[in-house]
Structure 1
Amino acid sequence: MAKVQRIGIIGSGGIAAAHVRAYKQLPDVEIVAVADVIPGKAAQFVTNQELQEAIGYDDHRKLLELDLDGVSICTPNASHHVTTVDALRAGKNVLLEKPMSVTLEEAIDMAQVADETGNMLTIGFQPRYDPNMKVVNDIVQSGKLGKVYYVETGGGRRRGMPGGTFISKQLAGAGAMADIGCYSLDMALNALGYPKPLTVSAYTSNYFGTNPIHHPEANKFEVEDFGVALVRFENDVVLQFKISWAMHMDTLGSTMFLGTEGGLKVNPYGTGNWSGVWDGRVGEMKLFHDFMGKQTETPIPVTNTDMNLFFEKVRDFSEAVRDGRPAPIPGSQIVIQQAIIDGVLRSSAAKREVAIELPF
């Protein structure tokens, strides 16, 4: 009989409920504890989620004293660093919600602690489990495009600005880039093999978020609702990254990979104000290439599936812990993404191109 996995959850907001729903579908997993910094909130969450055997704590360090196989960290961005480092040093494997951290320095430290302790740190990018995303990776990495030299990615909602902790600079670190832009970056960077970035030239704004016509918390809005950047990488690839929570436009366009032998165009999925973001599925895909001297366009079949990508993310973490596999989406990889977001913020503030420096 398989050993029952003991799981703890740190943070008891909406995303934590999604983790609970996923874990409940795994027969060999038991949620034994929940922690939240707000007094009484974890205990109420335990009751609301019908976790009869779980204990609610007001201090995550008390939760980490338990015998646990893994923890899901579902706190606001500003708490990701301290809770992750504490969990790793307490001998726990960690599934951390995106974005990885608020600052690049925090991300580097988290990855280093995971390496030092030998415990797993995986970051929650569920779009990777969409079979169509895997097709994108396969095409780019197959060499069919030749030398990839330019990539364009990003996402834009006509309207779709969150509030609360998402718009606080202190708690979130960044706005649209950290919330939805991280998905766009992961889509492109994962297909490219996460090359090392060298420089960033960027612009950000928050004209919509700070306008009370468009946002009910305009007087509290401290982060960007739009950003665009040109990123240079060490393998002579450039990436144009653009993201928006709100705009007077229906889309910021497709994701494109341009290569010397072909090009891949991937359209965003869905329609409406909250669509156009790479946080789940993809739309139409098409390969542009020459065939027998003729310019040719080949549609790439899109797999329509009712797969629950969030569940797949949680299951993969659980099975990796059980089987002793490496982190499905290692924190050491996502540090590169955090470096780009950090570079965007620095470049926008300085109004010039900035260098990206990584300790590896």
Structure 2
Amino acid sequence: MTKRLKIGIIGSGGIARFHVEAYQKLPYVDVVAVADVVPGRAQQFAENLGLTDAQTFDSHTEMLKLDLDGVSICTPNASHHRTSVDALRAGKQVLLEKPMSVTLNEALDMVKASRETGNMLTIGFQPRYDPNMKRLQEIVQSGRLGNVYYVETGGGRRRGMPGGTFIRKDLAGAGAMADIGCYSLDMALNTLGHPRPLTVSAFTSNHFGRNPLYHPEADRFEVEDFGVAMVRFENDLVLSFKISWAMHMDTLGATMFLGSDAGIKVTPFGTGPWSGVWDGSIGSMTMFHDDFGGHTETPIPLISHSVNLFQAKVHDFAEAVRDGRPAPIPAEQILIQQAIIDGVLRSAEQRREVSVELPHNV
């Protein structure tokens, strides 16, 4: 008989609803608790989603005293570190919404807590579950491109600036870099096999967020709405990374992988002012190579599928908890992109290239 899993939810904002709805589709999972620091909010959330038997708390530490198999952490970025470490040390398996943390040191502490406790810390990057993302990774890692020496990635919304907690530095830590930039980095780094970064040279700005013509909360806008960086890795690999919540342009261009034998150009799925970033599926893939004595372009057929990427992420976590499997998206992998984002913010503030320091054991 399959063991029933008892799951708790920390944070009851919009993304938490998607977690609960995904869990509710699994017959062996019960969402038994919800915690939110705003008094009464967890109770209202539970009622709205029909969690009639769930206990509600104004403190995640109180909720973690329950006998839970796992938790989904859906809080603002700045609290990811504390809630994750508390949950791991309370003996829970953890699914954490992106981005992993605000600083690299926080991310390192989270990985340390996971290793010391033996409890899972997996980070929620649902685009990895897209069959076409998996196909891209297989092509690049097969060696078909030869020596990959340059990658360009990032996403640009013409207009797509959030508000509320996303634009407060004390809660979000960073703006577009953390919110959607982490998707672009994960897409590139996971495809490449998570190479180790060495240096970052970056620039960020918030010309749109701070302008009341473009944002209704301009007087409270404290983070970047645009960023660009050049990242050097081991083995003479270079990554150009660019991201934008708002701009006077239709696109920041496709993602590309340049290799000594071939190259691939990839475009994201979707249209409209909030599209153009790597938070979902692939729109097209084309390989550029030389064959029969000339330049050749080969469209890579996309895999038709009906995978609900968000549900796949939550279900994979639940199955890993149930079956005792390792983290589906290990925190050690996401630590690499967190190091880059940390480097971007330091470089932009200091207006110079900075080194990325990662311990040898990660």
Q: TM-score, normalised by structure 2?
A: 0.98
Separation in 2 of the partners of 1:345 and 1:78?
15
The residue number in structure 2 matching 1:246 is: 246
Q: What is the identity, as a one-letter code, of the residue corresponding to 2:115?
A: D
Deviations 1:116-142 (A, max 9, x none): 110000000000001110011001100
The residue number in structure 2 matching 1:316 is: 316
Q: Point out the more displaced range, 88-97 or 289-298.
A: 289-298
How far apart are residue 290 of structure 1 and its match?
Answer: 1.5
The residue number in structure 1 matching 2:101 is: 101
How far apart are residue 292 of structure 1 and its match?
Answer: 3.0
Separation in 2 of the partners of 1:37 and 1:284?
42
The residue number in structure 1 matching 2:84 is: 84
How far apart are residue 345 of structure 1 and its match?
Answer: 0.5
Q: What is the identity, as a one-letter code, of the residue corresponding to 2:221?
A: F
Deviations 1:207-227 (A, max 9, x none): 000000000000000000000
The residue number in structure 2 matching 1:110 is: 110
The residue number in structure 1 matching 2:201 is: 201
Q: What is the identity, as a one-letter code, of the residue corresponding to 1:352?
A: R
Q: What secondary structure is seen at the aligned counterpart in 2 of 1:72?
A: strand
Q: What is the identity, as a one-letter code, of the residue corresponding to 2:220?
A: K
How far apart are residue 235 of structure 1 and its match?
Answer: 1.8
Give runs of ≥4 in structure 1 deviating > 6 Å. Answer: none
Q: What is the identity, as a one-letter code, of the residue corresponding to 2:185?
A: L
**1:193-232 mapped onto 2 (5 Å cutoff):** 193-232=193-232
Of all paired residues, the percent bearing the same amino acid is 73
The residue number in structure 1 matching 2:283 is: 283
**1:253-264 mapped onto 2 (5 Å cutoff):** 253-264=253-264
Separation in 2 of the partners of 1:154 and 1:217?
25
Q: What secondary structure is seen at the aligned counterpart in 1 of 2:329?
A: coil
Q: What secondary structure is seen at the aligned counterpart in 1 of 2:133?
A: helix
The residue number in structure 1 matching 2:272 is: 272
How far apart are residue 305 of structure 1 and its match?
Answer: 2.6
Separation in 2 of the partners of 1:210 and 1:223?
9
How far apart are residue 184 of structure 1 and its match?
Answer: 0.2
Q: Point out the more displaced range, 303-312 or 172-181.
A: 303-312
Q: What secondary structure is seen at the aligned counterpart in 2 of 1:235?
A: helix
Q: What is the identity, as a one-letter code, of the residue corresponding to 1:295?
A: H
Q: What is the identity, as a one-letter code, of the residue corresponding to 1:282?
A: I
Deviations 1:61-110 (A, max 9, x none): 11111111100000000110110000000010000000000111100100
- Check if 1:35 corresponds to 2:35: yes
Deviations 1:280-306 (A, max 9, x none): 011111011122332211110112333
Q: What secondary structure is seen at the aligned counterpart in 1 of 2:51?
A: coil
Q: Which runs of 5+ in 2 are unaligned?
A: none
The residue number in structure 1 matching 2:3 is: 3
How far apart are residue 312 of structure 1 and its match?
Answer: 0.1
How far apart are residue 191 of structure 1 and its match?
Answer: 0.7
The residue number in structure 1 matching 2:180 is: 180
- Kindly report the root-mean-square deviation, in angstroms, between the aligned alpha carbons of the 2 structures: 0.7
Separation in 1 of the partners of 2:85 and 2:136?
33
How far apart are residue 268 of structure 1 and its match?
Answer: 1.8
**1:138-153 mapped onto 2 (5 Å cutoff):** 138-153=138-153
Q: What is the identity, as a one-letter code, of the residue corresponding to 1:79?
A: S
Q: What secondary structure is seen at the aligned counterpart in 1 of 2:271?
A: coil
How far apart are residue 27 of structure 1 and its match?
Answer: 0.6
Separation in 2 of the partners of 1:189 and 1:132?
16
- Check if 1:135 corresponds to 2:135: yes
Q: What is the identity, as a one-letter code, of the residue corresponding to 1:185?
A: L
- Check if 1:293 corresponds to 2:296: no
How far apart are residue 240 of structure 1 and its match?
Answer: 0.2
Deviations 1:233-286 (A, max 9, x none): 012100000000000111111000000000011012121111101000111110
Separation in 2 of the partners of 1:236 and 1:323?
40
Separation in 1 of the partners of 2:289 and 2:66?
56
How far apart are residue 322 of structure 1 and its match?
Answer: 1.1
Number of aligned residue pairs: give it: 360
- Check if 1:163 corresponds to 2:163: yes
Q: What is the identity, as a one-letter code, of the residue corresponding to 2:304?
A: N
Separation in 2 of the partners of 1:268 and 1:99?
20
Separation in 2 of the partners of 1:139 and 1:265?
12
Q: Which runs of 5+ in 1 are unaligned?
A: none
Q: What secondary structure is seen at the aligned counterpart in 2 of 1:53?
A: coil
- Check if 1:191 corresponds to 2:165: no
How far apart are residue 161 of structure 1 and its match?
Answer: 0.2
Maintained 8 Å contact 2:12/2:45: yes
Maintained 8 Å contact 2:268/2:280: no
Separation in 2 of the partners of 1:234 and 1:263?
20
